[in-house]
Amino acid sequence: MNNEIRIINGLVFDPTNKVEGKVCDICIKDGKIVDKVSESALKIDAHGMAVMPGGVDIHCHITGPKVNLARKLMPEDHRLDPHFKTPYTQSGSGGIVPSTFATGYRYATLGYTTAMEAAVPPLTARHALEEMYDTPIIDNGFYVLLANNLFLQSLIAEGRKEEFKEAVAWWLNATKSYSVKLVNPGGDEPWKGHKNLNVKNIDDKSKVVDLSPRAVIDAFIDAVHELGLPHPPHIHCNNLGHTGNYDTTIETMKTAGDRRLHIAHIQFNSYAGEMGKSPKSASKEITDYVNSHENITCDVGQVMFGKAMFMTADAPLTYLLRGYKPQKWVNADTECESGCGILPFDYQGMIYTHALQWAIGLEIFLLSADPWRIVLSTDHPNGGSFMNYPMVIKLLMDYEFRKESMKHLNQKAMNSTILGELKREYTLNEICIITRAGPAKCLGLKDKGHLGVGADADITIYDILDDKEAMFNAPRYVLKAGQLLISNHEFVSDYTDKKVLRVAPEYDKSIEKVIKPFFDDFYSISFENYAINDDYLHGTGVVIESNKKNSIYEN
């Protein structure tokens, strides 16, 4: 394998290093971007092509126990979308929840080289790591579900702040995770323990522990800030999907004060209107807040028409949605920690709410003043498959196409938004930011999302085409860790190495003595068997260092 490569004549987009569409060379050696290479380096002529860092997906559901349940649930969907074997790649199944090999290959063929699994319960995190090892090429990490962890909640309720921080650090190390995920904080207990209820207000106290969702959110923001994790708490806000929920979102963001917080799939939490009635758009209120608060980052969670699959730790929400059209549904409670709900779904343009959701997502992108902090996702597969990303890009870059698309949707929904008035068109540079440079910065990944010297040589080269969907659908070249994987649109290598990104904040080992009695009483596995050993990283683990800061702009 030639490990020196020089990409010449390409139009380079590297916004992190202020290169915004300039013809220059990119040199690669030993898997990294370097200053220069020798004459014998393999040359890739990228004339007429855009050269970008590999894509970074900050929020998707692709590996782990709930993903596998959803995969098992949909044989009829897999059947329609087989993933054929090639001399370099294994076969698999596609559809809305592809099998692991297909997931890795398909992300790579879109030019993505890093994808973060958005929610995994600690008890079953081994499963997520095992699936990651079978998800070829793309680097992964995951966010560990801690908001509804009963032991941690009891520490917060008792005001034991120091021990809480140590325990959070312990949990991050024990699970080999990347950051803390909060989903519908406070919502698990009413669902499991009180005959399927939910929490409605972030200041409502739980019946079991003397604690409100806001107190939980605050405690995690504080602890993660103190630990200096590269990515702040990643939160799926309370009241997701409900009409009028935007004020919950704003209150949640206010709870952060000036400390960092990342709002997941913010579109689903941007609805105005009266509870119980038809929703309206609150994209302006939401983007005004995010635009003016540098400590907040978010991913949009764009809804795209066609097949989707709800898979979320917000189990009560999923059950509620099932009520609209009873069909196969999965609920899986995880003891002392979490739960999940799974429901196949179709977004249809003729339905008011679905069309409105689509419009709100686009409004958020178009009203965004800072593409570094409002980045692209569809919350795959909740808002639609990641295979839709090229179409999202086209909608953002092409006002005429957007206008034409709106004509075929529920007009009442279109007229209730300002989408038609937003003529902004994203530039290629801005697309590069929302799909790679921005997410990498939000995640605190210094070696990803850019093409400066020292960065990982994860590079995507696209033919520059007028039809932006076609352009982003099929990059001509994809390199990962300096290996040429895809050349002239085809896989040319069976290189499948990847890394698992994680954090390892320091903690006081004596916290284990505090945690263990809870395990002995209430868990069904031994405390000694809970923490995950290094074998599950298969030598691919990479620890990202801690670094306290209040925004993505601080160094």
Residues at the interface with another protein (CB under 8 A): 63, 65, 68, 71-75, 78-79, 82-87, 89-93, 95, 98-102, 109, 123-124, 126-127, 130-131, 134, 150, 191-193, 195-196, 319, 327-336, 342, 473-474, 489-490, 521-526, 528-529, 532-533, 535
Smallest gap from residue 486 Cβ to another protein (A):
11
Smallest gap from residue 467 Cβ to another protein (A):
16
Which one, 89 or 252, has the nearer CB to another protein? 89
Which one, 124 or 287, has the nearer CB to another protein? 124
Which one, 74 or 479, has the nearer CB to another protein? 74
Smallest gap from residue 544 Cβ to another protein (A):
25
> Closest Cα partner for 342 from 362, 324, 366, 321?
321
Which one, 62 or 237, has the nearer CB to another protein? 62
Which one, 189 or 222, has the nearer CB to another protein? 189
Q: At what angle do helices 246-255 and 283-291 cross, to 10 degrees?
A: 10
Smallest gap from residue 310 Cβ to another protein (A):
12
Smallest gap from residue 526 Cβ to another protein (A):
5
Which one, 17 or 533, has the nearer CB to another protein? 533
Contact 101, 132 (CB under 8 A): no
Smallest gap from residue 528 Cβ to another protein (A):
4
Ranges of beta strands (E only) in 146-191 are 179-183
Smallest gap from residue 66 Cβ to another protein (A):
10
CA dihedral over 413, 414, 419, 425, signed as positive or negative: positive
534 by Cβ neighbours in 10 Å (0-12 / 13-18 / 19+) ranks as exposed
Beta strand 42-45 with 4-8 is: parallel
The helix or strand, by DSSP H or E, that contains position 245, with its residue range, turns out to be none
Smallest gap from residue 109 Cβ to another protein (A):
7
Smallest gap from residue 182 Cβ to another protein (A):
20
Query: For residue 542, what are the β-bridge partners?
Result: 501
The helix or strand, by DSSP H or E, that contains position 55, with its residue range, turns out to be strand 55-60
Which one, 87 or 555, has the nearer CB to another protein? 87
Give dist(CA 416, CA 281) in Å, integer: 8
Smallest gap from residue 246 Cβ to another protein (A):
29
> Closest Cα partner for 168 from 258, 124, 211, 232?
232
Torsion of CA 377, 382, 388, 393, to 10 degrees: -30
Contact 171, 142 (CB under 8 A): no
Smallest gap from residue 157 Cβ to another protein (A):
15
Which one, 126 or 234, has the nearer CB to another protein? 126
Q: At residue 498, what is the residue type?
A: K
Q: What's the full length of the chain, in residues?
A: 555
Which one, 130 or 425, has the nearer CB to another protein? 130
Contacts of 372 (CB under 8 A, 6+ apart): 433, 437, 438, 441, 442, 552
Which one, 18 or 195, has the nearer CB to another protein? 195
Distances, alpha carbon 324 to alpha carbons 39, 212, 358, 382, 533, in Å = 64, 29, 19, 17, 43
Which one, 16 or 334, has the nearer CB to another protein? 334
Which one, 90 or 429, has the nearer CB to another protein? 90
Which one, 301 or 344, has the nearer CB to another protein? 344
Give dist(CA 444, CA 334) in Å, integer: 30
Written in H, E and C, the secondary structure of 468-532 is HHHHHHCCCEEEECCEEEEECCEECCCCCCCCEEECCCCCCCCHHHHHHHHHHHHCCCCHHHCCC
- At residue 512's C-alpha, the angle toward residues 183 and 536, to 5°, is 65
Smallest gap from residue 107 Cβ to another protein (A):
13
Q: At residue 110, what is the residue type?
A: L
Ranges of beta strands (E only) in 198-260 are 234-236
Smallest gap from residue 61 Cβ to another protein (A):
13
Query: For residue 539, what are the β-bridge partners?
Result: none
Structure-block tokens of residue 298 = 């978010």
